[in-house]
Amino acid sequence: MDTKSKELFEAAKRHIPGGVNSPVRAFGAVGRTPRFIASAHGSRITDVDGNEMIDYVCSWGPCILGHAHPRVIEAVIRACRDGLTFGAPTKREAELAELIAELMPSMEESRLVNSGTEAVMSAVRLARGFTGRDKIVKFKGCYHGHSDGLLVKAGSGALTSSVPDSAGVLADNAKNTLIAQYNDRASVEKLFSEHADRIAAVLVEPVAANMGVILPAREFLSFLRRITRQNGALLIFDEVITGFRLSLGGAQEYFHVTPDLTTLGKIAGGGMPIGVYGGKREIMELVAPAGPVYQAGTLSGNPVATAAGLETLRILQEDPGIYERLERKTGQLAAAVNKAAKGTVCVNQIGSLMSVFFTEGSVTDYERAVSSDTGRYAAYFGELLDRGIYTAPSQFEAMFVSDAHTAEDIAYTCRVMEEALSKEKESL
């Protein structure tokens, strides 16, 4: 039953656009009413109607330890007792920056902000300030937050300057954003051949996770490292999702490719709002007040968020075996889908990230991702939800596994997914 959720949704729509504070939460793509969540512990979330569900959204990634981990909660409570915000330096923000530098050596210096959007926006500004160039290369289907210059996609041609992808974004805000195809070296080479001396940076999700999970092709990230270095441009890894999730050192450690700048979020805040951008000292020293690239924020380095982030990263550091466990659990889910679907869907999985695309053949880029049958996905989503499994309410989002998911959780989910896909396959 979702009676209370329906009532709350209708009430919310009176004062919140669409009834939600982030579009995907509206469940519009799956034709359902959003579940309003009352509480979450471990691998489970409970909605206002009392429905308990195994959660594979994990707040879109940060809950790698599961919900309400006792040590993280205690760290937050201790921090709250000392005050919620000061707008002044604290010891913990310096400690968090130091720990990030230890875990991700490419981030010699970093600046704490309040969201992934803010981190990427600031990193792009810094790249332009450092290089003295204006253009940024991004990839079609990769999402880097909702700042004006990045809310763009390819226009009539995939290799041209982009047009705005949202009302309210001016063409002038988008004209310096160039669009390439993820996993397509030729598209990147063409942009450099035409704009080499004007490209400040290439911005990429090292593992695309906002058009569904799409893995980088072999040597694709190494290629991006080479072409940027050869042309005097910076390489920016948007690790808002992959940071501390693929490995303790993020995607850059996982793939052995070192970017010039990195953006983080999600896990770095342990479930509290945070964003981070950082990189080589010579680049970061251009950020105000050390240099001329301005960026500021009253709540940046918030003492509660840094407490949650520090404790989460320390737990991960103490238990590096978590990544093997996460890989094993997620691999079990992927195997169950493949067994039941027998080629009627595509499963992409890496570490604790996974997507089921309702299309045949491999999914390696945006065009293949959007060939998915969203109606089939909606039916699959609904079947899982009705049986107590909470997954992303969109074909084009990731499934996240946490360390709190038990063997029983995984076994039950495998069974339900197999049955849902077998049922779906019979109806084709």
Among 96, 84, 132, 161, residue whose Cα is nearest residue 309? 96
Residues 237, 300: Cα–Cα separation, whole Å? 21
**Active-site position among 266, 277, 377, 380:** 266
Longest dimension (CA), the chain: 63
The residue assigned the tokens 């009627």 is 344
Which residues does 228 contact at the CB level (< 8 Å), separation at least 6? 201, 202, 234, 235, 260
Residues 281, 260: Cα–Cα separation, whole Å? 10
Cβ burial of 369 (10 Å; 0-12, 13-18, 19+) is buried
Active site residue 266: yes
Residues 56, 132: Cα–Cα separation, whole Å? 43
Active site residue 238: yes
Active site residue 342: no
Which pair of tokens denotes residue 211?
């058009």
**Active-site position among 143, 254, 366, 390:** 143
**Active-site position among 2, 55, 184, 238:** 238
Angle at 339 between CA 335 and CA 340, to 5 degrees: 120
Angle at 167 between CA 165 and CA 173, to 5 degrees: 65
Residues 273, 271: Cα–Cα separation, whole Å? 7
Phi, psi of 304 (to 5 degrees): -75, -45
Indicate which residues carry an active-site annotation. Answer: 143, 238, 266
